[in-house]
Amino acid sequence: MSLWKALEGARVLDLAQPMRKGMPQSPNHPPFRMALERRHGDMVRPDGGSAANEIIVTGGHVGTHVDALAHVSQEGLLYGGRPAAEVMSHEGFGALGIDAFEPYVGRCVLLDVAAVHGVDTLPAGYEITADDLSRAAGDLEIRAGDAVLVGTGWSRLWSSAEEFVGQRGGVPGPGVEAARWLAERRPRVVGGESIAFEHIAPGRGHATLPVHRIMLVESGINIVETMRLSELLDSGTREFVLVLNPLPVVGATGAPVRPLAVID
């Protein structure tokens, strides 16, 4: 059967949050800004035509994005024990940057931890455990090389910026135990709905990010953050095709992405 025939009748869900000025983001990164550089009428061609265009300024970790392996180091070392100083310059990273990420099109498993607890959204500051992930997986096998997304329902709070960021109340996410559980299954990539794929305790902010260390530095597993999973969670789908292709910004530690879920 032709690939496009197999896709007939499939439903495509956009898993990216819309990018706009003032959207929720980590305080560790520069904010997203967009402004019209040229408006219609600023220049009019002899035939009456006119064009508008914008200038966009953004960090690589703002909005829905993929973390490159170069994003985090531990004791000065990147994934594979490579000294960060050896591949880092003012132009970015000569290795392990987001341009080294191979586009992913393949099986994805969604672990709906919120559903395990019978809620639409996990409480602020809730630490996801290995048992939570095991219960969410149920009979679904996670194979090496799969993508795995962890559902918390947190993307439902996108319009409440202060609550979403969780500086005071914290953010639900995997703790160290859950991160080890995921890493043992050797996924190609993991992802979630909050701005940091981590359990953020109330009042702690991003003081420490051990899950990033486990995934990026110790295991070589890329992370997708700030995903919009609410519609996917509501659909009841737990296994689907994920299309993931971040912007190939050479030497960058992360880049925006528009993930697509292709479901029956």
Give which of 190, 255, 213, 235 is closest to 58, Cα–Cα: 255
Measure the CA–CA gap between 24 and 50, rounded to whole angstroms: 34
Q: What are residue 174's DSSP bridge partners?
A: 128
Pair of tokens at residue 204: 């702690």
Q: Which 8-state DSSP code applies to residue 44?
A: B
Contacts of 242 (CB under 8 A, 6+ apart): 104, 105, 106, 107, 108, 147, 149, 259, 260, 261, 262
Q: Which helix (H) or strand (E) holds 53?
A: strand 53-57
pLDDT value, residue 227: 98
Q: What are residue 217's phi and psi, to 5 degrees? A: -85, -45
Strands 127-128 and 147-151 turn out to be: unpaired
Q: What is the pLDDT along the chain (264 residues), one digit of tens a residue?
A: 688 888 888 999 999 999 999 999 988 899 999 999 999 999 999 999 999 999 999 999 999 999 999 999 999 999 999 999 999 999 999 999 999 999 999 999 999 999 999 999 999 999 999 999 999 999 999 999 999 999 999 999 999 999 999 988 999 999 999 999 999 999 999 999 999 999 999 977 666 899 999 999 999 999 999 999 999 999 999 999 999 999 999 999 999 999 999 998
Q: Which helix (H) or strand (E) holds 111?
A: strand 104-112
- Given a contact cutoff of 8 angstroms between Cβ atoms, the answer to whether 122 and 153 are in contact is yes
pLDDT value, residue 205: 67
Give which of 220, 227, 191 is closest to 70, Cα–Cα: 220
Strands 11-14 and 260-263 turn out to be: antiparallel
Give which of 73, 99, 68 is closest to 85, Cα–Cα: 73
Measure the CA–CA gap between 183 and 190, rounded to whole angstroms: 9
Taken in order of first residue, the domains within the chain and their CATH numbers are 3-18+60-263 (3.50.30.50)
Q: In 168-219, which ranges are E strands?
A: 173-174, 189-191
Give which of 255, 249, 227, 253 is closest to 24, Cα–Cα: 227
pLDDT value, residue 11: 95
